[in-house]
Structure 1
Amino acid sequence: MMRRNDRGPAGGGAGPPTAPVLAAGCVLWRRAPDGGRLEVALVHRPRYDDWSHPKGKLKRGEDALCGAVREVAEETGMACAPGAPLPTLRYVAKGRPKEVRYWAAEAVHDEPFVPNREVDRLVWLPPSAARLRLTYEHDRGLIDALLDTVSRA
């Protein structure tokens, strides 16, 4: 039985844990025109001054895969063909738990990038260079998962 001074709903304590922020994105890839080697797209977000994979928060009731494809289009201006699911990342951002579902996605049309309010730069890099450019350690494992997925296709 919970006493009044115990932490919990009856005692006015912390209450239930905060629900995670739900987001989705893609590890966007293509075959380079100069020889067919695989390249990965990374985006730079000036608000955070970081390099990451295209991703963003899901809209209320939005399917995660639809949200991932939408975010790729919004951040890069490109259409993509989503493929295999990649690992889901869970971490804390701005003091809240965040859960980001990812998919491998091949760029369908390599459209010229136009900077926008969320993303000011996009680069295509070989996987080894992309690993080094990524700001967050937790994003690096997604490149390994992508390479495993593409090699099996």
Structure 2
Amino acid sequence: MISQKLQDAINYQINRELFSEYYYLSMASYFNSAGLSGFENFFLIQVEEERFHAMKMYNFLNERGARVYLQAIEAPKKEFKSALEVFELAYEHEKLVSSLINDLMDLAIKENDHAAKNHLNWFVEEQVEEEASMDTILNKLKLIGGEGHGLLMLDNELAGRVFTPPAK
């Protein structure tokens, strides 16, 4: 049985994953309006990944006999100045999510919940990849000055990204 404290914390994390989905959808919309379909595609894939993360948490709680309580999702930022700003914000957001996952892991360890620790290990590893992905693109944007031909080349590169759901 999962403790109420851990159940509440995972429910909060579901909300944060759904917010991330919403936040990245707002970023995708920004890139669509700017005519940068590759960047839009990148964030639409992020949207799918965040939904997958939320559902992985949802399913975990259900498998443990706990209850999922959905909370209101706050409105995300909707106006951005540049691709560079978007990726600076996305990178900072992923670092925040990593800290939330680490807090969840700390709680699972404190509660001595081995099933939760095992489940959360996947998220700890996933966050390393998420941060690295945002940081890589952010560094490329800084290198090219966030505009011009380099921006279009990066847009073209990001158009090829596809979502492949991870194995359970």
TM bracket (short chain) = under 0.3
Higher strand proportion (structure 1 or 2): 1
Q: Which has the larger radius of gyration?
A: 1
* Greater relative contact order (Cα < 8 A, sep 6+): 2
Higher helix proportion (structure 1 or 2): 2
